[in-house]
């Protein structure tokens, strides 16, 4: 009866798995994905048993094969174990190496060495993996083995770059990671696998838009393993875009994919746990996800993932305890507030009863107070008249600001209608040329600078004279006849207003960051005062 139940469950599991991909995970909301991930975690052993069952069938096949055939089957078993159980993967590499064929076939020997380096990397034994991978002469290998070599080198050096402690070594391993990533792209045939590496490279180089476009193009046609890599890259893209909800969604999709493939060596679930631990509603899930990740890492003998999960655990535990402490503090505070309110209410009712008898006398006093209040009200009326006048002045300036904003909105609306009309009439080329032109933007930008100059000089009419007093005569800033301020003066006008960050100044004036640094450094070096005092004196202009 138990075997029959297991059989029916596996049938339902496979049927549900097919339905899962019929209805794309990307169509689900964040909460729906997390609910599905919870169910997948609850049944992760069933997915793992499916992988173990496949491996057992390969073992039975190998027992009936010739030594030459058995070597290839052993390598298939190694690949199946490599992301499930490291020591078993290493054991089948040893079995392959013990075959006589391995001593005769240089290609097979190289594959065994590369595989050993891969497993040692998963186990976090970098010092053991490096000599193995460095002993291989990839130039003598076939194209497929050389590609396997590049992939393992890229992964191994990537881990060493991510988890290394010495800065110079991290940079060295990062460069090696980039080099082998480029080698993979050169060696790999066009297809989804090559596109995954190109997306990874684009993201590493900061080209988020290209990385995203590559991923979205390839996800529909990718298999399970390829989708796992693509979703990891998409989660990194969402992280760079500071889109926490999308990052959680893609990490959840990746974790579901990992667990359904029976994988026990993964990174998505611990990352998801960290993100959820920062939210009140996700604390319990984060704790459960981390426990699952630690359990799988121990099963896989993945020392790297075990250490990673162990380092994350105190962060989540501390956040969980902090939230529980906050809730307890809030509960106590509410209880104390309610008790205090009851005490105050009792006291107020007692004194109200006593004060009722004194109301007659109080009414008499109120009549006198009302008379005095009338005099005060007359004085307040005069003060209010003055405030109304001041508010009218403020309203005038606000109206000017709103009018400028309205003119921008109207201009945008006119351009929108104009472009829409041109598109409807088939003038796509004219629309493109119009969008490429920066004439309108330049004009609006010049109006913006003029408004800024007028407003600033209204506040600080002597700024230019005081600023030039900080410089020798031959280096003083001369403004053109048709200008109020020029670029150099605007930079230091912003500093005078308290905006000292070069990134903000560059954004405000639409200049590159090096240009802003150059202007600031040049005038600081020409100052009559020490360089470190120059900008503090500008603040006094």
Task: Spell 438-466 as b/e; 16+ CB within 10 A means b.
Answer: eeeeeeeeeeebeebbeebbeeeeebbee
| Tally of helices (H runs) and strands (E runs) in the chain | 25, 0
Q: Give me the residue spans of the domains in the chain.
A: 360-436, 439-538
Check pLDDT > 50 for residue 389: no
Check pLDDT > 70 for residue 397: no
Rounded Cα distance, 401 and 191, in Å: 55
Rounded Cα distance, 27 and 11, in Å: 25
With helix as H, strand as E and coil as C, how does 51-81 read? HHHHHHHHHHHHHCCCHHHHHHHHHHHHHHH
The tokens describing 377, both together, are 């009200």
Convert the pLDDT of each residue in 465-517 to its tens digit.
Answer: 999 999 999 989 998 888 899 999 999 999 988 889 999 999 888 899 999 99
Check pLDDT > 80 for residue 437: no
The tokens describing 330, both together, are 């809030």
Convert the pLDDT of each residue in 516-538 to its tens digit.
Answer: 999 999 999 999 999 889 999 99
Check pLDDT > 60 for residue 206: yes
Rounded Cα distance, 511 and 498, in Å: 19
The tokens describing 51, both together, are 């992988």
Model confidence band, residue 303 (pLDDT cutoffs 50, 70, 90):
low
Asked if residues 111 and 148 have their Cβ atoms less than 8 Å apart, the reply is yes
Convert the pLDDT of each residue in 21-70 to its tens digit.
Answer: 434 778 888 889 899 999 999 998 999 899 899 999 999 998 888 888 88
Question: Which burial class, exposed, middle or buried, applies to 258 when counting CB atoms under 10 A from its CB (0-12, 13-18, 19+)?
Answer: buried
Residue of 300 and 179 predicted with greater confidence? 179
CA angle, residues 129, 169, 310, in degrees to nearest 5: 65
Chain Cα centroid distance, residue 65: 50
Question: Which burial class, exposed, middle or buried, applies to 322 when counting CB atoms under 10 A from its CB (0-12, 13-18, 19+)?
Answer: exposed
- Please tell me the least confidently modeled range out of 149-153, 248-252, 257-261, 400-404: 400-404
Convert the pLDDT of each residue in 62-94 to its tens digit.
Answer: 888 888 888 889 899 988 888 888 888 889 888
Rounded Cα distance, 56 and 520, in Å: 70
The tokens describing 170, both together, are 């991290």
Rounded Cα distance, 147 and 154, in Å: 11
Model confidence band, residue 464 (pLDDT cutoffs 50, 70, 90):
very high
- Greatest alpha-carbon pair distance for the chain in Å reads 118
Mean pLDDT of the chain: 81
Residue 152 Cα distances to 122, 129, 178, 189, 248, angstroms: 11, 10, 13, 17, 28
- Please tell me the least confidently modeled range out of 215-229, 272-286, 316-330, 349-363: 316-330
């Amino acid at each position: 009866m138990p075997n029959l139940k297991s059989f029916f469950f596996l049938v339902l599991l496979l049927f549900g798995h097919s339905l899962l991909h019929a209805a794309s995970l990307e169509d689900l909301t964040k909460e729906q994905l997390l609910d599905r991930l919870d169910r997948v975690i609850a049944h992760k052993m069933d997915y793992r048993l499916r992988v173990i069952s496949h491996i057992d069938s390969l073992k039975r096949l190998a027992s009936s094969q010739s030594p030459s055939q058995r070597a290839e089957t052993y390598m298939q078993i190694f690949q199946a174990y490599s992301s499930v159980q490291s020591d078993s993967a290493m054991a089948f590499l040893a079995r392959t190496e013990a075959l006589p064929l391995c001593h005769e076939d240089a290609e097979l020997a190289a594959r065994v060495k590369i595989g050993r380096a891969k497993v040692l990397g998963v186990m976090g034994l970098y010092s053991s993996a490096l000599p193995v991978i460095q002993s291989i002469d990839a130039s003598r290998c076939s194209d497929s083995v050389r590609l396997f070599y590049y992939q393992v080198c890229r992964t191994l050096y990537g881990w060493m770059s991510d988890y290394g402690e010495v800065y110079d070594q991290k940079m060295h391993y990062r460069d090696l990671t980039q080099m082998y990533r480029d080698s993979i792209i050169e060696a790999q045939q066009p297809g989804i696998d090559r596109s995954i590496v190109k997306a990874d490279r684009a993201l590493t180089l900061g080209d988020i838009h290209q990385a995203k476009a590559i991923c979205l193009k390839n996800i529909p046609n990718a298999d399970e393993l390829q989708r796992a890599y693509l979703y990891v890259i998409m989660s990194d893209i969402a992280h760079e875009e500071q889109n926490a909800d999308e990052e959680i969604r893609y990490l959840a999709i990746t974790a579901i994919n990992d667990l359904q493939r029976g994988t026990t060596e993964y990174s998505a679930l611990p990352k998801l746990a960290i993100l959820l631990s920062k939210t009140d509603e996700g604390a319990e899930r984060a704790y459960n996800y981390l426990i699952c990740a630690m359990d799988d890492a121990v099963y896989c003998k993945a020392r790297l993932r075990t250490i990673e999960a162990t380092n994350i655990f105190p962060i989540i535990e501390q956040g969980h305890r902090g939230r529980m402490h906050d809730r307890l503090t809030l509960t106590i505070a509410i209880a104390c507030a309610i008790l205090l309110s009851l005490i105050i209410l009792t006291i107020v009712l007692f004194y109200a009863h006593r004060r009722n008898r004194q109301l007659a006398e109080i009414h008499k006093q109120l009549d006198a107070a009302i008379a005095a209040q009338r005099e005060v009200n007359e004085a307040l009326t005069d003060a209010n008249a003055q405030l109304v006048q001041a508010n009218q002045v403020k309203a005038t300036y606000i109206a000017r600001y709103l009018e400028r904003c309205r003119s921008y909105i109207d201009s945008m609306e006119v351009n929108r209608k104009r472009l829409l009309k041109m598109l409807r009439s088939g003038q796509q080329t004219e629309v493109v040329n119009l969008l490429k032109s920066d004439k309108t933007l330049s004009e609006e930008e010049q109006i913006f600078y003029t408004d800024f100059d007028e407003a600033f000089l209204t506040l600080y009419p002597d700024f230019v004279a005081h600023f030039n007093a900080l410089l020798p005569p031959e280096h003083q800033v001369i403004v053109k006849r048709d200008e109020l301020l020029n670029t150099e003066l605007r930079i230091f006008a912003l500093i005078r207003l308290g905006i000292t960050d070069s990134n903000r100044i560059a954004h405000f004036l639409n200049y590159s960051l090096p240009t802003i640094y150059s202007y600031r450094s040049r005038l600081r070096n020409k100052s009559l005062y020490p360089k470190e005092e120059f900008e503090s004196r500008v603040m006094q202009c």
